[in-house]
């Protein structure tokens, strides 16, 4: 599939609109899923994806191929999501709706496993949406999209060390929220003895 995308990218760079349309069709589901995980809102995710593809189309001639096209597109998508979330934070202070389902709600397996899987995914989605956007962006880009720390840092405009610190904090917060240790206060992450 990578070779197919490479050929489409080459054609699109030369001005073939149909090739770019094919790139959009082949990458849309993953791009939308990333946007949704970063924004937590279907409408926002659609806006982010639209802006990401517009930016990708305008910048395609500058795409050097140092990374895979999908990695480059994920960076653009994360940047668009970050911009949208920052703009939202400046304009309003509403809580994120945590009663949102996942884009992919079709677990495979037996009925009990499906129920457990769905419940865990719902808890994970809720915990992800509970993270501040700065932490959520880092953990989604690293743990779901497997971008290297350096790429994440460059995309978010922070140092690589800061990206690693944010990732550590995000993972710790998710662990505390989802799997608190015995005697650990889920609100503070501190042991009962230390919290008191």
Domains along the chain? 1-90 (1.10.1740.10), 114-188 (1.10.10.10)
Helix (H, G, I), strand (E, B) or coil at 184: strand
pLDDT for res 111: 59
Over 50: is that where the pLDDT of 37 sits? yes
pTM of the model: 0.60
Residue 25 makes CB contacts below 8 A (sequence gap 6+) with none
> What's the mean per-residue pLDDT of the chain?
80
Residues 46-70 pLDDT 10s = 999 999 999 999 999 888 777 789 8
Contact predicate 48/80, CB 8 Å: yes
Residues 104-131 pLDDT 10s = 444 455 556 556 666 777 788 888 888 8
Over 90: is that where the pLDDT of 186 sits? no
pLDDT for res 20: 92
Over 90: is that where the pLDDT of 193 sits? no
Over 60: is that where the pLDDT of 102 sits? no
Over 90: is that where the pLDDT of 95 sits? no
Say what percent of the chain tops pLDDT 90. Answer: 29
Give the distance from CA 31 to its chain's centroid: 9
132-142 average pLDDT score? 88
Residue length of the chain = 196
For residues 38 and 105, the model is more confident at 38
Q: How many CB atoms lie within 10 A of CB 101?
A: 11
Ramachandran assignment for 131, one of left (phi > 0), alpha (psi -120 to 50 degrees), beta (any other): beta
Residues 164-178 pLDDT 10s = 999 999 999 988 888
Taking each continuous run of H as one helix and of E as one strand, the counts in the chain are 9, 0
């Amino acid at each position: 599939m990578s070779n197919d995308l490479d050929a489409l990218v080459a054609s699109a760079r030369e001005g073939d609109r149909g090739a770019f349309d094919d790139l959009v069709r082949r990458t849309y589901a993953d791009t939308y899923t990333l946007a949704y995980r970063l924004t937590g809102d279907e409408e926002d995710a659609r806006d982010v994806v639209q802006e990401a593809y517009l930016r990708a189309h305008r910048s395609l001639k500058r795409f050097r191929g140092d990374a895979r096209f999908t990695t480059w597109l994920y960076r653009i998508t994360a940047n668009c999501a970050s911009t949208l979330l920052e703009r939202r934070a400046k304009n309003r202070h509403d809580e994120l709706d945590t009663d949102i389902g996942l884009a992919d709600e079709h677990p495979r397996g037996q009925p009990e496993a499906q129920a457990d899987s769905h419940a865990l995914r719902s808890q994970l989605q809720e915990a992800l949406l509970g993270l501040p956007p700065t932490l959520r962006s880092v953990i989604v880009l690293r743990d779901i999209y497997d971008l290297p720390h350096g790429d994440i840092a460059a995309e978010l405009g922070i140092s690589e060390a800061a990206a690693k610190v944010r990732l550590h904090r995000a993972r710790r917060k998710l662990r505390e929220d989802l799997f608190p240790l015995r005697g650990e206060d889920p609100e503070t992450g501190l042991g009962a003895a230390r919290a008191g």
